[in-house]
Structure formats: structure tokens, C-alpha cells
């Protein structure tokens, strides 16, 4: 078991990696790692947070389902959260899942509704009085993207329900997919037109649904399968999941013909083997099967964990493997400056697609595999774009092949690279200067929780960088109306709005500014702590690692990251340009201990607050020295309960943690 410090450092690293891969997967539709790798990172983070509950924060990937919605679509608020499922990769994990369910329910056998796990895009369809009024993507589980106009073009989604006994409001959950034949036909057309091909049906379905022009979506071979229900108003549903699915079919919604009910865990495993055998013959891609406890009353008894229901699990199929050769190892530089080695492979057909790249993650992974240029390797693909190298076939190694070592200088900007103690990744120290990090750095700088520059979305940032108008965040503040109007699809009114938003963002806070700089390992909470501790940017920039480690929750790794960032001349130059551009913030008063009445107290917020937002409540508590956590544990002092609280309120009662109403919180703050 790692020490508290080791766990904290590893948790910080895991959260950065998972958040980045969430962005690549959900927002860009261009993943860099396989599902199995992502699951491994998330499971490691879950295990560490379970061992050290006090390290759980509200912004942890385990506290949410997924990633942020695209700015180009309107938002959809899910009244009933769209949760993802836990994964099982072996029969033993399925047996454990069934055992836990039986023990909690106090029964000998559980009946399960079982179905193939489709490889597509989760969607929510809202019907009011039987008419489709809204469609939204999963997004982060509570907020998704409004894709109603695009969804209306899909033939397998009824615009009006059949019959008359449907509820006044019915929210249908399901999956939008592109079948294998449609996928091949679409790619053939794109090849003929000289366009980039989609890498797999899931990627094609997601890209087709996220088109701004519904006519493009209408031209794509998309289809839909329903698998559940979210919100329900003024109506009744059967008391079993399988019967609800049949009811959806009666109302005109498509369901998967492979759906059925089995008894006990052996029935689940037999179904798994049967579907696996016919996987290649199915007209659509699947990556496993799903088991759901069938009786709703038992689902309610089992309840939920933070990220998934206890009454359902996805049983993934094993990865598919092939043999090929490593032709080269290149190094890519990401937004955070992380250097990622990528193996360039002799093209090989694996799991339904031709692959030629495999991420090697870091130097430790390369050393573990002992992979070298010229080696024959076994490549595994688990339904993703980029596969992983499982092992090296050393019996086929010929001659003396050189071991690979990460470069000492960034391959993009030439800055020195470094690998911190306890960190698996190698990083470029270029910070605000490195061209590879430029676009993502500016996107982060402009994001809502950083400088909050409204209207400065991803596409505009990319245009500004590609047109050489912006080389670092400070260049944003020297943009002119004429320059903006010269960009594609930028009218005068929009340009003026951007300039107004930039001007507004100059009046900020020290904590936001520190966070906006994108210092490795420095998130919102750490930025707030640094602001309160040092009181000024100058004091923070001048401090050393030893002094930084005196700050609460700042260890040697974070301290080293901060000192390294501010020691780079080009980073300091950009900061000076930002200050010269007019960025300013109120004076931060360093409060003595007796001015922090809630110091040492841990709060958890749940439900909707009416007199202030959750962010405002969090800021007010932190200003008084309190720590605000995202989960309830024995170390929690107070749980603040608003309207429609979640499971945190029940857990607080179970643990005997004191519960505060919003009125009591206001009194406490005053």
C-alpha cells in the first residue's frame, strides 16, 4: 500500500492523464489510448481514492462520468443523470459482481436482463405527450449537447410514439450506432472523394451526430437501439427492466433483438459465450455484453456508487491480437508538455481495422517491454483506434538492436525535458513557449474556470494559432477587430463580442490567474491555496521548493513543478506581457490563523442550493479556511444538503456526520 504522499502524487498524475484522454475521446473523437488502458488508469485512481478517501476532490474523474460538452452545441441538462457502467474483464469479476448483488439482496439467485454492449454514442430522447422534443448526448452525465435536429434525421427514431398509454414525459436512453455495412460504404465514398476515412464505426457515428448541419447527419447511415428509461412524469412502467424494454418496443422504439432474461450468473456467462461466438456475424460492432438486475425493486435496493449503478455491469470481450514489426519510435508532445513515445508499426489488420501505431506511454513501459526498433511484437486491439503492444517476440530479434531512451530535449521546441521523481512521464519544460502545447494551453487559459473568456472556443483558438495571430496567451490581448474579422465565419459583431470578453477577463482573481497559467500539477484547489498563502504573484514566483512545501497539500512534486515553471525565462516573459496587457486582480489579504474560523473542517455539498450556487458556497467556505470535498467519509465534519440531495445525504446519516441545511450554512458563514 503506498504512503499518503505517494498516493497523492500518483492521484494528481492519474487525474491529469484521465482528463486529457476524456477530452481526446469525447470531445475530439480522436482517442490516443485503448479502452483497456483507460480502464486501467481509472481503476488505479479508484483504488487509490478508496484507500485514501480524504484525497478525493470534486474535480476527480471518479466523481463524474465523463467529459465536458462541445461549445458549438446548446446544453442539455439531464434531470436524471446518465451514468456509465462498471466493467468486468474476467469471469471471476462477474462472479464477484453476482455474489455482491445476492448478498445485498439476501437471495440465492438473481434474474438478469442481458444484451450486447453496442459500440456507439449514448443518447437521451425526451418525449412529451408522445412527441420527440429534445435529444441530448451523455456529456459529463449531467450536462450534454443538444443534438435534436440531427437526431430527427435518423429513421429508426420515431418522431411520435405509437399508442396512447405512454407517460406525459418519457425520457428514453439508448445508443446511436453505424452498422458495419454503412460504415464501409461511407468510407468507400470518402476514399473516392479524397477525404479522411473514419477509423471505426463508433468514431463515425459520433462524428456524424456532431455535425452543425443536419443535412450532413441525414446523409450518414445512423441507427438507434433503446436500452432504458430516464425521467418519467405522469405515467407508470412495468416493474421489471425486461418488461420496460418490451414496452418501449410497443411504443415504436427499436430494441436489440438479442436482449433476453437469464437466471443466475451461469446464465449470464452462457449468454456471454454465445454472443461472443456470433460477434463477427452481427451487423454492428459490440465490445461485450451488459448484465442488469431485472426487478426494479432489487435495482433500488442495490443503489449506486459514485460513477455507476450497483445493479448493472458490462462484461468486456477479450482484446484481439496480431503480430507485426516496430519500424520506428517517435515522440509526441501533449498539451501538458508530456512526452509520449509512439511505436510506428508495419501495418497489420487487428480487430476489424488496419493499425500502424501503438502508444508506448512512457519510458517505464518501454523498459518493461524492452521494445526496440526492428522488434517483432504482439499487438492487442480492444475496439479502439490505437492498440497496445502486449509483448516482444524476442526469439525473432535479429542482431544488436539499440535500446530506446526518451530525448533530453523537446522534439518540438528544444527546451530541456525532465522526469520528476515518482512520475512515469517525461515533460517538456517549455511551458507557455512550446509550440506543441500552444493551442491546448490557450484553450485552457481561456476556459470557464480559468480566465473565462466567453466566446473564445476551441475552433477560434485553432484559427488564431494557425493564422499566426497568437503565439502565447498574452497575444490574445493585442488582437484587433480587423484581425478577428479577417478570420473565417467571424462577423463584426462577433469580433466585438470577443474583444469585450477579453477586456472583461482582465479583471480577474489571483487564484484564477495562477490556474490559467497551466502549471503542471496545479489545479483549481491548489491555485486557490497558493493565492491565499502567498497573497501576491511576485511572492509566489520568488519562492523556493522548501517554502512551497510548507503550503497545505503542496508536496515535493508540486513544489518542483511550480519552481521549474517560474524559472523558465520565456514563461516569465509571457507573464510580464499579460500584466502589461492590463490583467489585474484585487489585493489578497493573507489572513492569520484566527481569521480562518473553519480551518481544519471538511465540508461536502449535495443537492441544489437556492440562495447561492455550489461554486459560491465552495468559495465562501474555502475563504474561511474550510476544505470542501466531493465525497462523504468518517473524516467529514459537515454535509450541506440542498434541494433534491443525492446519496451523500444518506451516507452522512449512516456515518453520523452532522447535516446542515442551506439556512444553517448561511448562518455559519455569517
Domain positions in the chain are 4-60, 75-316, 320-396, 430-589, 593-669
Is 117 assigned a catalytic role?
yes
The partner residues of 210 in beta bridges, in order of sequence, read none
Beta strands (DSSP E) in 10-162 are: 75-77, 86-88, 111-118, 121-128, 131-137, 143-145
**What pLDDT was estimated at residue 413?**
87
Contact 178, 217 (CB under 8 A): no
Return the H-helix or E-strand segment holding 340. strand 338-350
SS3 408: coil
Q: What is the pLDDT of residues 494-517, one digit of tens each?
A: 999 999 999 999 999 999 999 999
Kindly report the CA angle at 606 between 604 and 608, in degrees rounded to 5?
140
Quick one: average pLDDT of 306-333? 88
625: left (phi over 0), alpha (psi -120 to 50) or beta: left
Rounded-to-10 torsion of CA 242, 248, 253, 254: 10
Check if CATH label 2.40.50.140 holds for domain 320-396: yes
Homologous superfamily (CATH) for 430-589: 5' to 3' exonuclease, C-terminal subdomain (1.10.150.20)
C-alpha cell at position 122 = 449514448
Question: Would the CATH topology of 75-316 be identical to that of 593-669?
Answer: no
User: What's the pLDDT at 411?
Assistant: 92
The yes-or-no verdict on residue 644 having pLDDT over 60 is: yes
List beta partners, residue 131.
128, 160
All three cell numbers of 295? 426487478
The SS3 call for residue 391 is strand
CB contact at 8 A, 527 and 502: no
Q: Quick check: 35 pLDDT over 80?
A: no
Residue 380 neighbours by CB under 8 Å, 6+ apart: 34, 36, 319, 320, 321, 350, 387, 388, 389, 390
The b/e string for 26-50 (b: 16+ C-beta within 10 A; e otherwise) is: bbebebbbbbbbbbebbeebbebbe
pTM of the predicted model, to two decimals? 0.47
Beta strands in 63-211 (DSSP E): 75-77, 86-88, 111-118, 121-128, 131-137, 143-145, 169-178
List of residues 6+ apart from 98 with CB closer than 8 A: 110, 264, 265, 268
DSSP single-letter state for residue 521:
T
> What topology is assigned to 75-316 in CATH?
D-amino Acid Aminotransferase; Chain A, domain 1 (3.30.470)
Q: How far apart are CA 360 and CA 355, in angstroms?
A: 15
Strands 169-178 and 222-233: antiparallel
Closest CA to 344 of 380, 383, 385, 374: 374
Across all residues in the chain, what is the average pLDDT? 87
**CA 478 to mean position of chain CA atoms:** 33
CA angle 161, 129, 222 (to 5 degrees): 40
Q: What is the pLDDT of residues 202-253, one digit of tens each?
A: 888 988 888 888 888 888 999 999 999 999 999 889 999 999 999 998 888 8
* CA-based nearest residue to 141, from 360, 346, 304: 304
Span 542-562, average pLDDT: 87
**DSSP strand E in 445-553: where?**
none
Q: Between 285 and 69, whose confidence is greater? A: 285
Which secondary-structure segment (H or E) carries 463? helix 458-466
Number of H helices, E strands in the chain: 24, 22
pLDDT (tens digit, 9 = 90+) per residue, 574-628?
Answer: 999 999 999 999 988 776 655 678 877 889 998 888 888 887 888 788 778 788 8
E strand residue ranges, 583-649: 602-606, 627-629, 638-641
> Distances from the Cα of 39 to the Cαs of 86, 110, 230, 342, 599, in angstroms?
9, 27, 25, 20, 36
146-199 pLDDT, tens per residue?
A: 998 888 888 888 888 887 889 999 999 999 999 999 988 998 888 788 777 776
> In this predicted structure, what is the pLDDT of residue 247?
93
Sign for the pseudo-dihedral over CA of 64, 67, 71, 72: negative
Mean pLDDT (whole number) for 460-485: 93
7 has pLDDT over 90:
no
Sign of the CA dihedral with 376 first, then 378, 382, and 383 last: positive
Question: Would you tell me the crossing angle of helices 4-22 and 35-51 to the nearest 10 degrees?
Answer: 150
* Residue 27 banded pLDDT, cuts 50, 70, 90: very low
Dihedral of CA 552/553/558/562: which sign?
Answer: negative
Strand 353-359 with 338-350, pairing: antiparallel
The half-sphere exposure of 243 on its side-chain side, counting CA atoms within 13 A, is 9
If we measure between CA atoms, which residue out of 154, 153, 140, 144 comes closest to residue 123? 144
Distance CA 333, CA 341 (A): 9
- The whole-number pLDDT of residue 19 equals 65
Give the pLDDT of residue 95.
96
**Which member of 117, 247, 316, 648 is catalytic?**
117
pLDDT score, position 63:
56
- Strands 638-641, 658-661: pairing is parallel
As a CATH number, domain 4-60 is: 1.10.287.610
For residue 127, give the C-alpha cell: 418525449
Look at domain 593-669 and name its CATH class: alpha beta
Amino acid at each position: 500500500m503506498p504512503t499518503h504522499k505517494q498516493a497523492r502524487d500518483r492521484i494528481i498524475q492519474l487525474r491529469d492523464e484521465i482528463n486529457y484522454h476524456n477530452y481526446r475521446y469525447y470531445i475530439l473523437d480522436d482517442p490516443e489510448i485503448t479502452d483497456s488502458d483507460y480502464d486501467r488508469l481509472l481503476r488505479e485512481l479508484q483504488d487509490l481514492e478508496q484507500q485514501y478517501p480524504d484525497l478525493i476532490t470534486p474535480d476527480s474523474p471518479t466523481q463524474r462520468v465523463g467529459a465536458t460538452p462541445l461549445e458549438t452545441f446548446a446544453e442539455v441538462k439531464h434531470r436524471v443523470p446518465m451514468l456509465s457502467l462498471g466493467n468486468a474483464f474476467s469471469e471471476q469479476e462477474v462472479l464477484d459482481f453476482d455474489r455482491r448483488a445476492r448478498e445485498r439482496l439476501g437471495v440465492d439467485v438473481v434474474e438478469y436482463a442481458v444484451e450486447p454492449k453496442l459500440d456507439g454514442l449514448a443518447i437521451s430522447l425526451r418525449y412529451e405527450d408522445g412527441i420527440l422534443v429534445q435529444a441530448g448526448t451523455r456529456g459529463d452525465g449531467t450536462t450534454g449537447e443538444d443534438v435534436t435536429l440531427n437526431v430527427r434525421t435518423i429513421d429508426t427514431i420515431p418522431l411520435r410514439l405509437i399508442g396512447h398509454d405512454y407517460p406525459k414525459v418519457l425520457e428514453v436512453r439508448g445508443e446511436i450506432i453505424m452498422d458495419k455495412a454503412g460504415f464501409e460504404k461511407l468510407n468507400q465514398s470518402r476514399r473516392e472523394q479524397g477525404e479522411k476515412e473514419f477509423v471505426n464505426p463508433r468514431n463515425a457515428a459520433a462524428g456524424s451526430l456532431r455535425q452543425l448541419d443536419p443535412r450532413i447527419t441525414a446523409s450518414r447511415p445512423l441507427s438507434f437501439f433503446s436500452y432504458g428509461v430516464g425521467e418519467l412524469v405522469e405515467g407508470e412502467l412495468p416493474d421489471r427492466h425486461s418488461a420496460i424494454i418490451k414496452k418501449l418496443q410497443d411504443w415504436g422504439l427499436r430494441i436489440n433483438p438479442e436482449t433476453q432474461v437469464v437466471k443466475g450468473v451461469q446464465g449470464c456467462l452462457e449468454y456471454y459465450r454465445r454472443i461472443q461466438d456470433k460477434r463477427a456475424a452481427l451487423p454492428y460492432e459490440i465490445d461485450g455484453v451488459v448484465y442488469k438486475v431485472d426487478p426494479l425493486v432489487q435495482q433500488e435496493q442495490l443503489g449506486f456508487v459514485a460513477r455507476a449503478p450497483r445493479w448493472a455491469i458490462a462484461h468486456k470481450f477479450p482484446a484481439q491480437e496480431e503480430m507485426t514489426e516496430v519500424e520506428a519510435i517517435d515522440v509526441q508532445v501533449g498539451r501538458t508538455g508530456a512526452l509520449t513515445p509512439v511505436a510506428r508499426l508495419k501495418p497489420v489488420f487487428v480487430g476489424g481495422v488496419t493499425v500502424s501505431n501503438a502508444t508506448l506511454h512512457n519510458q517505464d513501459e518501454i523498459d518493461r517491454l524492452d521494445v526496440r526498433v526492428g522488434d517483432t511484437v504482439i499487438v492487442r486491439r480492444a475496439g479502439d483506434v490505437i492498440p497496445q503492444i502486449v509483448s516482444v517476440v524476442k526469439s525473432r530479434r535479429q542482431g544488436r538492436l539499440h535500446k530506446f531512451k526518451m530525448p533530453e530535449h523537446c522534439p518540438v521546441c528544444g527546451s530541456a525535458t525532465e522526469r520528476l521523481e515518482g512520475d512515469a512521464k517525461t515533460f517538456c519544460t517549455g511551458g507557455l513557449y512550446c509550440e506543441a502545447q500552444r493551442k491546448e494551453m490557450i484553450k485552457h487559459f481561456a476556459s470557464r474556470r480559468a480566465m473565462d473568456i466567453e466566446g473564445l472556443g476551441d475552433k477560434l483558438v485553432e484559427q488564431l494559432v494557425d493564422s499566426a495571430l497568437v503565439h502565447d496567451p498574452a497575444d490574445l490581448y493585442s488582437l484587433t477587430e480587423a484581425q478577428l474579422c479577417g478570420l473565417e465565419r467571424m462577423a463584426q459583431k462577433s469580433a466585438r463580442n470577443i474583444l469585450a470578453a477579453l477586456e472583461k477577463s482582465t479583471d480577474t482573481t489571483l487564484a484564477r490567474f495562477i490556474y490559467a497559467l497551466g502549471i503542471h500539477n496545479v489545479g483549481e484547489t491548489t491555485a486557490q491555496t497558493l493565492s491565499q498563502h502567498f497573497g501576491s504573484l511576485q511572492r509566489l514566483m520568488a519562492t523556493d521548493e522548501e517554502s512551497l512545501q510548507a503550503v497545505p497539500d503542496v508536496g515535493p512534486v508540486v513544489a518542483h513543478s511550480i519552481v521549474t515553471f517560474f524559472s523558465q525565462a520565456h514563461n516569465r516573459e509571457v507573464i510580464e506581457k499579460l500584466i502589461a496587457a492590463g490583467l489585474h486582480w484585487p489585493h489578497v489579504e493573507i489572513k492569520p490563523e484566527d481569521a480562518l474560523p473553519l480551518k481544519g473542517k471538511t465540508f461536502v455539498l449535495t443537492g441544489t442550493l437556492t440562495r447561492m450556487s455550489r461554486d459560491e458556497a465552495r468559495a465562501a467556505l474555502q475563504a474561511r479556511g474550510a476544505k470542501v470535498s466531493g465525497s462523504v467519509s468518517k473524516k467529514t465534519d459537515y454535509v450541506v444538503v440542498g434541494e433534491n440531495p443525492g446519496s451523500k445525504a444518506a451516507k452522512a446519516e449512516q456515518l453520523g456526520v452532522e447535516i446542515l441545511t442551506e439556512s444553517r450554512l448561511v448562518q455559519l458563514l455569517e
